[in-house]
Amino acid sequence: MRFLEDMTIGERREVGTFTFTADAIKTFAAQFDPQPFHLDEEAGKNSLFGGLAASGWHVAAVCMKLMVADAQRESAEAAKRGELVATGGPSPGFRELRWLKPVLAGDTITYYKQVESLRPSDSRPQWGIMQARNTGINQRGEVVFSFLATAFVPRRPNAE
């Protein structure tokens, strides 16, 4: 990933795309969210979702997976250019997670990350704190998933 000093408020990045097949939906649900409407087409149809629906935690976990892969791609590109590579820190949490529309079997979600705020950490001088709005948008252009993430990002060594 990049350093705090290399980021700009408002920048928006496509982090990746994932198609939620019925198989992927059921496999995740069996492991972490075994409710009937995530496991069975008929139960999904008869639920408020109107079809076999991905667990919201699945939609969120795929977002995380794609964001990590994107950051690793970004780091590999920086290393190739001979630049110093930053290693990200943990996240203290997030706000306002919303599952706005169901993600049904066959839907393809594209995830985006938009930087909303950047500031140095008060208590840890090598770290900054970034807030980013992460969204997932389906193949019809509808926002299905959104949350405001907070994460520690490293500061560039010797940055003022």
Binding site for a copy of itself (CB under 8 A): 31-37, 47-49, 53, 55-57, 60-62, 64-65, 68, 72, 87-100, 102, 124, 127, 152
Cα-based torsion angle of the residue sequence 37, 40, 45, 51 in order, rounded to the nearest 10 degrees: 80
Q: Closer to a copy of itself at the Cβ: 92 or 106?
A: 92
Q: Which residues contact 77 (CB under 8 A, 6 or more apart)?
A: none
> C-alpha 83: how far from its chain's center?
25
Cβ at position 84, least distance to a copy of itself in Å: 17
Q: Nearest approach, Cβ of 148 to a copy of itself (angstroms)?
A: 10
Residue 145 near residue 63, CB atoms below 8 Å? yes
Task: Provide the minimum distance between the beta carbon of 32 and a copy of itself in the complex, in angstroms, as a whole number.
Answer: 4
Residue 25 or 62: the one with the smaller Cβ distance to a copy of itself is 62
Query: 114 vs 54, 103, 129, 133, CA distance in Å?
Result: 24, 21, 14, 5
Q: How far is the CB of 12 from a copy of itself (least distance, A)?
A: 22
